[in-house]
Structure 1
Amino acid sequence: MKNIILLSVILFYSQVLFAQDFGAELLVSANFSQVDGDQLGGYTKLGANIGIQINREVKEDWDLAFELRYSMKGAKKVQDPENPSPTLKLSYDYLELPLLIKYQGFDKITPYSGLSVGVNVINERDDNGFVGEETNLGFMEYGFHLGGTYHLTEKLGLDLRHTYSLLSIRNSPSLTNGPQLFGRNGWYNRLFTVGLTYDLDR
């Protein structure tokens, strides 16, 4: 199922990329992530975030953008060197499809916001050296994105983005003292993404 989805997405983006009136950008970034609700805390899990963006002007100063991203999320327990404890690392990788609206009315900065759907492709829980899968991790993720790009040159930009899961990524109840979203407990991917964009058209 995952391979079929991946192939369909690649074929779609290949057709769009070579169509007229569309722009394209390469995206190379790093995630600083945590999982709200896992009782760890802190943006201590580092992972890659790479992809491509296809955009098109829909109105003066406004662009609609589709992205295909491979995003490495999760969480990592911070160790105290003076008081070591069992380690824990959660590695959740997703193939994501964000849909964004971008405002192009500023000279150097392009703010944007949007929603995404993601498919989990790697689910790994490293609990003090014992590696397995996270129980009841959902196959799909729905996210909200808010960010902006600072244009260093005509082609190169510095991008900063915050992403948060709209729904719990686990299909089971979480701890009662975990964060609540509209009165519901759950696990939610939360991350900051910092990276570079490269415009392929200019």
Structure 2
Amino acid sequence: MWSCIFSFRAGAQNPSSYYIEEPPLFRGGLVAGANFGQVDGDKYAGYYKVGINAGVTLYTRLNNLFSLSMELLYAQKGAKSNFIKGSSSNIYNIIDQRISLHYAEVPVMLNITDVHKNYVGAGLAYARLISGTETIVTSPNANYNGDDYPFKKYDVSFVATGNLCLVKGLYAGLRFQYSLLPIRTKVDYEFARAKQYNNVWVLRVMYLF
């Protein structure tokens, strides 16, 4: 009889005695990768401009499904020609055209996490221009001065991202980013088509502590 009572009490443990580890409320991390960009509105198409995308990130868990993230990044964007092309009037051949833009950028996104700890998210990014230059080499020489057509001091863009969990804490990510407002409205129509927008794909890795 006593053995039966002892067995019953041993099997009927209080469920509250089990400890279930909650995911952390905040997770910080580092990101590093490459931007592959073009500027929509110039004379060329193609993601030939390669630049740095690197900085820090912070995730705040809202529940088991959703989280908010904010990043502080250094981002190089712009455009690069990949072949010789005629200007609008065909007076000039564009031998080389390069746009180089350096930003301090803050993306803010709402993310969804699956059971395998992969993230997908979307949001907005505000970027402050550190420096921006454009150089054009033509034949015959057009004496183009990019300073006459300045870039805006800021860029507001839409961001969509996906992060695949490789091992605990380490992620591989793919991101698409597009300007919602023109980065430049005053252009030389001999060497540009319209108002200009950043158009960027990003490959990067992220480590969350």
State the TM-score, normalized to the length of structure 1: 0.77
RMSD: 2.5
1:40 match:
44
Q: Report the CA distance between 1:58 and its aligned residue.
A: 1.4
2:116 match:
107
Do the aligned residues in 2 keep the contact of 1:124 with 1:131 (CA within 8 Å)? no
Distance 1:104 1:174 in 2: 46
2:182 match:
168
Q: How does 1:46-195 map to 2 (within 5 A)?
A: 46-79=50-83, 86-128=95-137, 133=147, 135-172=149-186, 175=189, 178=193, 186-195=195-204
Do the aligned residues in 1 keep the contact of 2:31 with 2:205 (CA within 8 Å)? yes
Q: Report the CA distance between 1:128 and its aligned residue.
A: 2.4
2:30 match:
26
Between the two proteins, what is the percent identity of the paired residues?
Answer: 27
Larger Rg: 2
Number of aligned positions between the proteins: 172
Do the aligned residues in 1 keep the contact of 2:149 with 2:187 (CA within 8 Å)? no
Do the aligned residues in 2 keep the contact of 1:124 with 1:134 (CA within 8 Å)? no
Distance 1:107 1:59 in 2: 15
Distance 2:101 2:134 in 1: 9
Distance 2:25 2:169 in 1: 18
Q: Which amino acid aligns with 1:27?
A: V
State the TM-score, normalized to the length of structure 2: 0.75
Distance 2:145 2:171 in 1: 38
Unaligned runs of 5+ in 2: 1-23, 85-92, 139-143
Q: Report the CA distance between 1:127 and its aligned residue.
A: 1.9
Q: Report the CA distance between 1:21 and its aligned residue.
A: 3.8
Unaligned runs of 5+ in 1: 1-19, 179-184
